[in-house]
Structure 1
Amino acid sequence: MRADLFTDTELKLAQMWIDVLGVDSVGRGDNFFDLGGDSMLATRLVLTARRAWNVEFSVRVLVDSPVLKDMAGRIDVLVGPADTGSPR
């Protein structure tokens, strides 16, 4: 992972991307599909994220927000402000 990750959500999501994509590192400005993601990997990532945060969302969230920081922001909205892990 890279040092440009700011929130707990970004850190957790970045580790998921590393695991799913098989890459060495990701940063908050990286695009899932530019790093080699495809529809099968997107489905795997979304299922993992849904379990991790106990929220319901579809692959469409990743398609609409393929940049890590944007997807993390969407997850934070779904989870709610108390559990985002945003820096204070």
Structure 2
Amino acid sequence: MRINPAIAFTLILLAAMFGSGIVSASWGYSLGRQALTGIRQPETRPASASTASRGTAQTSDFVLLNEEDILKNIKARIEGGLDTAD
């Protein structure tokens, strides 16, 4: 009984693809593991309840602006009455 060359070629290509997938996966895993050496996960989340209970003050630089002031500023810039370099 003779093996069909098309089937043999297909099986060879399938085995080569499977092998290259395994090699690629292991190489990528080792590169990623090497890149992450020395990096560790934080022990707690920064905004967890445990930090708030310790009495640490949490400051925020977030400032809400008045919409009317923003619209006046935009209208003045459109009319050319205000310097646009602010």
Q: TM-score, normalised by structure 1?
A: 0.22
The higher relative CO (CA closer than 8 Å, separation ≥ 6) is in 1
Whichever of the two has the greater Rg, that structure is 2
**TM-score, normalized by length of structure 2?**
0.22
